[in-house]
Amino acid sequence: MLAGFIFKLIAEIREWQAERASARLQAMQAQAAAAHGVPAHQTAVDVNLFLDGVLREKPARFSPEDLRRFTRDYADRLGSGAFGVVYRGAFPNGVQVAVKVLNGTLDKRAEEQFMAEVGTAGRTYHINLVRLHGFCFDDAGTKALVYEYMENGSLDRVLFEHKQHAGLVGFDTLYGVVVGTARGLRYLHEECLHRIVHYDIKPGNVLLAADFTPKVADFGLARLCNRDNTHLTMTGARGTPGYAAPELWLPMPVTHKCDVYSFGMLVFEILGRRRNLEFHHPVESQEWYPKWVSQRFEQGRFDDVMAASGIQGKDGEKAERMCKVALWCVQYQPEARPSMSSVVRMLEGEEEIARPGNPFAYLDSLHTISSTSSSDLSKESRHLQGVR
């Protein structure tokens, strides 16, 4: 079943890329003709060479022997996760790659994630999305995904694991990471042939190139959907606690706005250069950073946020813009959250940002209900003890 899906997917990708190639070729011919004042057919590049170049961009199917060559027999291990191990490698032309070798036996969930990765990342090409060069699906057991190599690793390592590294990354660079990640999500939601919902936006799934260009990665939970589908059918909870939108865990309709919520939580962590939930941190008596920021913003004390994050005065305008965008993105009601195109415009200063409302008011309501229920239970308990 999985092999059949892969072959069908490759055929769809080739068809889509052939159409894209034709459109690009026509555009190149028209541009050349206009520049030189001659008919387009006289300035056309070699069609076969052009199409060969385009087809080389598609995800390739590699053999186990290819992977061993790329990785020098798996000599350089970069890390591991729940579904496999990642190795550093290189193509024969010197282009560096990251080879994610999946666990030998794929259960149903892992198979679904493999298909989602190939079926979504294999259809996209954007500067802010990690590129899937190809895959290996060998009946003998080797299953792997081959990505472009990202020199600076994942964003969570920069923010949380290497504090000395984080200190060397300037605020402007981190702001560029925010904007670039937003552009990648805008492409997935609004510019692809099919809308792609990622479902697991978090710092660990944003990779950084040598120049700190961010690229959204890990499409194992992603789904394709038609643009006219306003709601998605869910089969089990998705996402990572702390980043997943409320509707992914509650009986609420799910839309692509769940990615917007996760992006907002990611922005808070970049703003504070800390995890949103971090018990041992100088922000005293406050366990959850987003709510702490929201309270300071409401009180007109954003300077406290800047001071806690080590943000200098010259970066204050961008920091406040980030804060407002994050507060809009994490609104409880999905329809109150902006689109990713609006998020990009707000971050780039092309769209005015209205003052966001308190996105965590529902938590206060839940706390009140919880306190009332606890009080009632306590009274009932005392009453029963008196009866006895």
**Residue 276: closest CA among 299, 315, 309:** 309
Residues 6+ apart with CB under 8 A from 176: 212, 213, 214
Report the run of H or E that residue 84 belongs to, with start and end.
strand 84-90
* Residue 200 falls in the annotated catalytic set: yes
Report the alpha-carbon distance of residue 257 to residue 11 in Å, rounded.
31
Residues 6+ apart with CB under 8 A from 367: none
Please indicate if the annotation marks 100 as binding a ligand.
yes
Report the alpha-carbon distance of residue 259 to residue 295 in Å, rounded.
24
Report the alpha-carbon distance of residue 193 to residue 190 in Å, rounded.
9
Cα dihedral across residues 332, 338, 344, 349: positive or negative: negative
Backbone angles phi, psi at 338, to 5 degrees: -75, 165
List the structure tokens of 152: 């600076």
Report the run of H or E that residue 133 belongs to, with start and end.
strand 132-137
Which residue is catalytic, options 138, 139, 200, 211? 200
C-alpha radius of gyration, the chain, whole number: 24
**Residue 197: closest CA among 173, 217, 223, 215:** 223
8 A C-beta contact, residue 49 and residue 74: no
Report the alpha-carbon distance of residue 90 to residue 86 in Å, rounded.
13
Backbone angles phi, psi at 58, to 5 degrees: -70, 155
Please state the residue numbers annotated as binding site: 100
Please state the residue numbers annotated as binding site for ATP: 100
Catalytic residues: 200
